[in-house]
């Protein structure tokens, strides 16, 4: 089981890179596994990552011996699993347009109906905290709240989550696309943002649609 999950993580990490969302080895992703998680190791880029190098650890930070060091953002991943039993996979990256917005501390409004994939009408900004810290983990979990599946990290990047890895990856790709669209609208005078009523209809449609895959 864990072998299949490890292979899926390598594939997802490479997909993230291929889609242009990763820069160097700056992205990281994880999957809940048993009572703990599997997470990408620090400093190993997608092209070099082997399934056996994916790190198995508890949500409290205990790693089985003989492994590489986990991503420096493991606190952030663990905090999300501890706060949200519905989330089983987390993707973090510094994708360009999401990061541009995050650097302005500007949340991402409902400029396009696909924002419903995040289960919110606006993608919030987690206040700035130093990378790798418990403070950043706490601000990220708080920004996601009870049902959100994405947030921007001030002056840092984005976090996307889902019930499984392919959904979390899909959310990350959509957040970057929405951010690019929003940046484009800001450049030509600003967007007309969808109303809460419009978005309520979209959320209903998404629920009715069931599997968005």
Strand partners, 162: 89
In a 13 Å sphere around the CA of 157, the CA atoms on its Cβ side amount to 21
Contact segment (CB under 5 A) with Zn ion among 39-47, 132-140, 149-157, 165-173 equals 149-157
The residue (of 111 and 154) whose beta carbon lies closer to Zn ion is: 154
The residue (of 14 and 26) whose beta carbon lies closer to Zn ion is: 26
What's the min distance (Å) between Cβ of 136 and Zn ion? 9
Catalytic sites, residue numbers = 73
The residue (of 70 and 157) whose beta carbon lies closer to Zn ion is: 157
Longest dimension (CA), the chain: 55
Report the residue number whose CB is nearest to Zn ion: 157
Count the residues of the shown chain that bind Zn ion, applying the rule CB under 5 A. 1
Contact segment (CB under 5 A) with Zn ion among 109-117, 122-130, 151-159, 160-168 equals 151-159
Contact segment (CB under 5 A) with Zn ion among 38-46, 141-149, 156-164, 179-187 equals 156-164
What's the min distance (Å) between Cβ of 40 and Zn ion? 12
Cα 190 to Cα 27, 144, 175, 209: the distances in Å are: 30, 26, 18, 30
Helix, strand, coil content of the chain in percent (nearest 5):
45, 15, 40
Cβ-based burial of 144 (10 A; exposed 0-12, middle 13-18, buried ≥19)? buried
**What is the contact surface with Zn ion in residues (CB under 5 A)?**
157
């Amino acid at each position: 089981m864990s072998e299949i999950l490890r292979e899926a993580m390598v594939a997802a990490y490479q997909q993230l890179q291929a889609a242009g969302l990763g820069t160097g080895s700056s992205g990281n992703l994880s999957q809940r596994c048993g009572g703990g998680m599997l997470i990408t190791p620090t400093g190993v880029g997608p092209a070099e990552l082997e399934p056996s190098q994916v790190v198995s650890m508890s949500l409290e930070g205990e790693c089985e011996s003989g492994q590489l060091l986990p991503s420096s953002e493991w606190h952030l991943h663990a905090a999300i699993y501890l706060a949200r039993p519905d989330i089983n996979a987390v993707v973090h990256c510094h994708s360009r347009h999401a990061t541009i917005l995050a650097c302005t501390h500007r949340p991402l409004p409902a400029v396009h109906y696909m924002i419903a994939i995040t289960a919110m009408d606006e993608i919030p900004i987690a206040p700035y905290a130093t990378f790798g810290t418990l403070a950043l983990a706490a601000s990220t979990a708080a920004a996601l709240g009870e049902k959100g599946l994405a947030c921007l990290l001030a002056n840092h990047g984005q976090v996307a989550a889902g019930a499984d890895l392919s959904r979390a990856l899909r959310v990350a790709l959509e957040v970057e696309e929405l951010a690019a669209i929003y940046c484009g609208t800001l450049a030509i005078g600003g967007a007309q943002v969808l109303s809460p009523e419009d978005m309520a209809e979209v959320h209903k449609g998404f629920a009715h649609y069931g599997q968005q895959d």
